[in-house]
Amino acid sequence: MIRSWIANWKALLAVIAVLIVCGTIFYSQYLARKIATDERKKVTQWIEAQRILADSTSQDGLTLASTISADNTDIPIIETNEKDEPTGIYRNLDSAKVQNPSYLKEELHSFKRLHAPIVIVLKDTPYQANKYYYGSSVLQQQVRYYPLVQLAIVALFILFILLFLRTIYQSRQNQLWAGMAKETAHQLGTPVSSLQGWVEMLKENNDPLALEIEKDVKRLELVTDRFGKIGSTPKLEPKNIVAQIEAMAAYMRKRAGQSIVIDVHAAAPDIEAHISPPLFDWVIENLLKNALDAMEGKGKIHIDIEQAPSNIIIDVTDNGKGIPKANIARIFNPGFTTRKRGWGLGLTLTRRIVEQYHKGSITVKWSEVGKGTTFRIVLNK
């Protein structure tokens, strides 16, 4: 339900973002066209004012032309002759750079790409004319780039919202996991205590089944302990990781059958790592059970333990049926399973134990259908 809610929010945010961006682009384009039209009128007025200043003998005309000419303080203009050669008349260019001929040519080339020139014919025969090329004002440039700025702001806003929703989802998921684990440990605690009492009574009566039942009760105690530790932050302690894995491999050998070979190879007999022994045993047990299921009663499981300068690498390899590429990205997801029975939580719990409690990582290093799979665990030293 939470995931569906987040997915709906993502879709809604995406639609809102698209509408905002589209509306902004259309409106900014409308403003840019309107400003461009006004600026062309201003340039035309400035050109006419320059002509009046050059030819008029009327004092009123000169005053009006001077006012119009002085009003243009933001639109850059360059005057050229009929051969597109600068005449030396320009407006609103960088006064420090304008003495450089290459700067004037570059600005002229830029203006030519932006707008068509305004042409004033001076003589028909021989043909003489002045062309006026102009650029964009600061206002028009701001309007032009405004959609991009707003798009960046909207993208950052959506990213923030998605991260916020993801944090909420993960927090609720963690609370759910912890609550389920604590409740499971609590529910198991009462019958396990009762079974311990019955075992003691059977021992007093020298019942031969007492020892076997006691083994199963201890197994239930271990399961209860595991769930109790998942429901709280487990305490990590230094342990010989090789001995820990060897013990779990020995436990699984007795239950795997004679057609299954489980061997452990370590770079050194004593490799220390900070782990929670019950939870780490659960990780190895889950991986070995998955390998046994994949091999369907016959095959080999190889566990390789390497020691790097800053971490410990554990590879669990089987020669079972392998994992299709389409499923590799989903095998750690809650509820995903290819078996007819099971809840699909084994690998999910495994990843949670490795990543959240041991600050390590677990990945599928290699898998090929019909050949097998390798799971890799990396623990910090």
* Residue 127 shares a structural domain with residue 264: no
Q: Report the candidate in 128, 138, 141, 135 with the shortest Cα–Cα distance to residue 78.
A: 135
* Residue 173 is assigned to a structural domain of this protein: no
Same domain, 131 and 244: no
Phi, psi of 333 (to 5 degrees): -75, 140
- pLDDT at residue 302, as a whole number: 97
Q: 11: Cβ–Cβ under 8 A, 6 or more apart, which residues?
A: none
Name the residue range of residue 108's domain.
Answer: 76-135
| 190 occurs within a structural domain | no
Positive or negative: CA dihedral 195, 199, 205, 209: positive
- Helix %, strand %, coil % for the chain, to 5? 60, 20, 25
Distance, in Å, from the CA atom of 80 to the CA atom of 120, rounded to the nearest integer, reads 10
- For residue 68, give the nearest of 95, 50, 88, 92 by alpha carbon: 50
Distance (Å, rounded) from C-alpha 329 to C-alpha 30? Answer: 47
CATH number at residue 366: 3.30.565.10
- Find residue 77's DSSP bridge partners: 91, 134
Structural domain includes residue 52: no
Classify residue 116: in a domain, yes or no.
yes
Same domain? For 240 and 371 the reply is yes
Q: How many CB atoms lie within 10 A of CB 220?
A: 16
Residue 100 inside a domain? The answer is yes
Residues 129 and 255 in one domain: no
CA 367 to CA 354: how far, in whole Å?
Answer: 20
Residue 84 forms part of a structural domain: yes
Provide φ and ψ at 321, rounded to 5°.
Answer: -80, -10
Whether residue 313 is contained in a domain is answered as: yes
In the chain, the number of structural domains is 2
Question: Does one domain contain both 112 and 248?
Answer: no
Given 95, 112, 135, the domain boundary residue is 135
What are all long-range contacts of 368-372, with beta carbons under 8 Å and residues at least 24 apart? 368/322, 369/321, 369/322, 369/323, 369/324, 370/321, 370/322, 371/319, 371/322, 372/294, 372/317, 372/318, 372/319, 372/320, 372/322
**Same domain? 118 vs 250:** no
List the chain pLDDT tens, one digit each, 381 residues. Answer: 545 555 566 677 677 777 777 777 777 777 777 777 777 777 776 766 666 656 655 444 445 445 544 556 677 887 888 787 887 777 777 777 777 778 888 888 888 888 788 777 777 777 777 788 887 777 777 677 777 777 787 778 878 887 887 788 777 776 776 777 676 766 777 787 888 888 888 888 888 888 888 888 887 887 777 777 776 778 899 999 999 999 999 989 988 888 899 999 999 999 999 999 988 998 999 999 999 988 888 899 999 999 998 999 999 999 999 999 988 988 888 777 766 655 567 888 899 889 988 999 999 999 999 999 999 999 988
The residue from 114, 135, 156 where one domain ends is 135
Shared domain for 374 and 239, answered yes or no, is: yes
Among 135, 152, 169, residue at a domain's last position: 135
In a domain, 191, yes or no: no
Asked if 319 contacts 372 with a C-beta cutoff of 8 angstroms, the reply is: yes
Please report the DSSP string for 69-127 in residue order.
HHH--SS-EEEE-TTS-EEEEEES--TTTTTSHHHHHHHHHHHHHH-PPEEEEEETTTT
Are the C-beta atoms of 243 and 283 separated by less than 8 Å? no
Q: Is the pTM of this model over 0.95?
A: no
